[in-house]
Structure 1
Amino acid sequence: MKIVLAYSGGLDTSVILRWLIEQYQAEVIAYCANLGQEEELIGLEEKARKLGASKCIVEDLTEEFVKDYVFPMLRAGAIYENQYLLGTSIARPLIAKKQVEVARKEGADSLAHGATGKGNDQVRFELAYAALAPEFKVISPWREWSFQGREDLIAYAKKQGIEVPVSREKPYSMDRNILHISYESGVLEDPWQEPPQDLFRLTKSPEEAPNTPEVVELEFEEGNCVGVNGEKKSPVEILKSLNKLGAKHGIGRIDIVENRFVGIKSRGVYECPGGTILYFGHRQLETITLDREVMHLRDSFIPKYAELIYNGFWFSPERYFLQAAFDQSQRFVTGTVRLKLFKGQLYTLGRKSPYSLYNPKLATMEADQGAYDPKDATGFIKLQSLRLRTVAQSQKGLFG
């Protein structure tokens, strides 16, 4: 038996690697996708081999991740439950896809992941496996073994001499990529408890952010950010530069209680500085480039699209269908947005586009310039109110 494990080097997958070898008497290949974790990747291959992996494959997917996963999601304006920018959710389909490719190349017959039995990630990984490689056996240790929680894993790791970056004092579950960092577990399981300040690894607190605001200009082409402050950059370069800028000014901290797909409410704390800036800036440019009905119809689809990503349906027919519609809406979302960053907040200073639908002659509150006759509104209002007047006359008392 040969298993390819989605491996991060954290507590769960470190224990899982050793457990798979013992439980299944199997050869285990550790697969780690580099999505911009940075220092978390240091020494990963050596650690996996010490744990018994026959091979550890670390693959740099950062450019593909931002270009083909993060940017399409941003073009759609996706946000889950009006707060979460889906940093963990959007990473899972790419990891699963590459894990499948490695399994086929290495002649493996099984796939394994470290997602817990109560979380969303088990669903995300396994839905992706089903869509891309239904022939593989899937192993989910958290649904098989006798360990009851993270304290059991910490004790097992200590007994086995496995080095892990958590302790009973700081048992946080952390997930990081170039888009965000997420934190769960430990004191965060109490939604009334403020996150400890030493929890945050990326952003300054707004109180400690500079007392002087900073202005940034974002250039977009067809819904994609292509430049920062007049300098053209690749998708990865853009996200990296905006992460640094946003982190400096305390942008992108999110603390939410979200609804997991499996039916549990979960408290998550996130840092997403660059993504927050891109999301906000993109929306501001759309205000002058999207037709009203297109914008309103598109907005009605966003909750469903975000839900598909959150729940693990990236490789589903309906996600491809919605992506095509969103991308169609972005054909003229080209232009520049100027933003001010200050103490954890974003402010719009200006926006411009060669395809702007904003017409000063129509919008002006000064003397009429012939583009719009206010007298025409009389008939418009009369027709819009017709049914209301009919209801009022025929069904008195309906409105109190």
Structure 2
Amino acid sequence: MKKLVLAYSGGLDTSYCAKYLSKVQGYEVHAVSVNTGGFDKEEIASIGQKAVQLGALTYTSIDAVKTFYDKVVKYLIFGNVLKNNTYPLSVSAERIIQAIEIVNHAKKIGASYIAHGSTGAGNDQVRFDMIFQTLAPDIEIITPIRDNKLSRQAEIEFLKENGVDLPWEKAKYSINKGLWGTSVGGEETLSSHSGLPEEAYPSQLKKTDPTDLKLTFKKGELVAINDESYGNIDAIEVLEKIACEYAIGRDIHVGDTIIGIKGRVGFEAAAPMLIIKAHHLLEKHTLTKWQQHHKEQLGNWYGMLLHEGQYLDEVMRNFEAFLEDTQKNVSGNVFVTLHPYRFTLNGISSDHDLMNSSFASYGETNEGWTAEDAKGFIKITANQGKIFNHVNS
């Protein structure tokens, strides 16, 4: 038998792959799903049961939530990464870790083939293939949906013909939930003019009275909420549970795909948006001007390369080293108020707050220099502009 590892989610595309590759193509299919947040034990058990029923010889669920945080999410926070100033890379960041875990499993069991259910029209095909080719160039990649240009209806008919008559009606909205946010796709996101309706989002507004929170960061990582200490992953999950009741973190991202076309996707990411904005505010108080300037540029580059599947390029490790080094003094509390559909950042307290100095108060008084010092500084600073205007007038 030809041993093959299938990246399996339990949806229509990967279910087709499981049946087609095992029955028609004669592969020994080993289905693997990678949990980067959003799945409970019952869902994982159901996915595994379905995989075996469809023809997989084995099913393996890999818990990669901690790996996802340690290898990716942490740096998205350090870099305040929002794609196009909007999207916290909820799904694209997950795909990188999922691909790495799948290829590692394929090596572990000695598989000669890896398959996934991506089409030829999206970003995931690029992310999966690039990781697989880089880490395991000798393993052949099999992609039935992409290669055969299969329609959804063609997949359903094949499965029915082969005794699989499960309800495959396409949901009105496709939901992909993970640790770092939930993507929401629907008819409205296929065009440019429509917003998603209230019912499209998995979390609904439940609270309307404002709630104050104190978010505590240590070296750039969220470690406590209202003085209650948590592990990094637990802190994100607890904050998500609190903030999603206010329907916070909703938006629609418009971006350029890796393959060159524009795309829209809705998302709900209450905790990620709160954490990134609170962290950014704390950095404004604790980092120097030039640290912030260069961090903004490198954070954007890190997010873009991650989104485009370039995670394994060594430059990403260089970026991570820089981002982590900048967090040495990013510790303290950020005070936030939650409101329906929004939140406000009220202020911070930190031992590293650069506003707490004896030099001066902005627009008020100065103790560290004289009026003559200020006049001289301003005169020299103006030299470049004065020279340019003198020469070119």
TM-score, scaled relative to structure 2: 0.92
CA distance in 2, matches of 1:374, 1:42: 73
CA distance in 2, matches of 1:150, 1:268: 20
Q: How does 1:54-133 map to 2 (within 5 A)?
A: 54-133=57-136
2:36: which partner in 1? 35
Given candidates 124, 137, 140, the residue that maps to 1:137 is 140
1:121 aligned partner, one-letter code: D
Native 8 Å contact 2:7 2:33 kept in 1: yes
1:331: which partner in 2? 328
Q: How does 1:116-195 map to 2 (within 5 A)?
A: 116-147=119-150, 149-157=151-159, 160=162, 162=164, 167-168=169-170, 170=171, 172-195=173-196
CA distance in 2, matches of 1:56, 1:356: 51
Question: Following TM superposition, by how much is the alpha carbon of 1:238 offset from its aligned partner in structure 2, in angstroms?
Answer: 0.7
1:381: which partner in 2? 378
1:9: which partner in 2? 10
CA distance in 1, matches of 2:129, 2:340: 40
Question: Following TM superposition, by how much is the alpha carbon of 1:51 offset from its aligned partner in structure 2, in angstroms?
Answer: 0.6
CA separation of 1:16/1:337 partners in 2, compared to 1, >3 Å: closer, same or farther?
A: same
Q: SS where residue 302 of structure 1 aligns?
A: helix
CA distance in 2, matches of 1:75, 1:29: 37
Question: Following TM superposition, by how much is the alpha carbon of 1:172 offset from its aligned partner in structure 2, in angstroms?
Answer: 4.1
Moved over 6 A (4+): none
Q: Deviations over 1:216-269 (max 9, x none)?
A: 111111111111111111122111101111211111112022110110101111
- Residues 363-372 or 241-250, more deviating: 363-372
CA distance in 2, matches of 1:355, 1:27: 58
1:371: which partner in 2? 368
Could you tell me the percent identity over the aligned residues? 28
CA separation of 1:158/1:353 partners in 2, compared to 1, >3 Å: closer, same or farther?
A: farther
Given candidates 283, 288, 294, the residue that maps to 2:285 is 288
Q: SS where residue 351 of structure 2 aligns?
A: coil
Question: Following TM superposition, by how much is the alpha carbon of 1:298 offset from its aligned partner in structure 2, in angstroms?
Answer: 1.1
- Residues 47-56 or 217-226, more deviating: 217-226
1:316: which partner in 2? 313
> For structure 2, which runs of at least 5 residues remain unmatched after alignment?
none
Q: SS where residue 85 of structure 1 aligns?
A: coil
Q: Deviations over 1:27-64 (max 9, x none)?
A: 11110112222355351111001111101101222222
Q: Deviations over 1:130-160 (max 9, x none)?
A: 232222111122321141x334444545555
Native 8 Å contact 1:188 1:195 kept in 2: yes
CA separation of 1:229/1:141 partners in 2, compared to 1, >3 Å: closer, same or farther?
A: same
CA distance in 1, matches of 2:172, 2:4: 28
Question: Following TM superposition, by how much is the alpha carbon of 1:369 offset from its aligned partner in structure 2, in angstroms?
Answer: 5.1
Native 8 Å contact 1:67 1:235 kept in 2: no
Q: SS where residue 38 of structure 1 aligns?
A: coil
> For structure 1, which runs of at least 5 residues remain unmatched after alignment?
none
CA separation of 1:375/1:151 partners in 2, compared to 1, >3 Å: closer, same or farther?
A: farther
Instruction: Work out the number of aligned pairs and report it.
Output: 390
User: Are 1:53 and 2:50 an aligned pair?
Assistant: no
CA distance in 2, matches of 1:123, 1:16: 18
Aligned CA RMSD, in angstroms, stands at 2.1
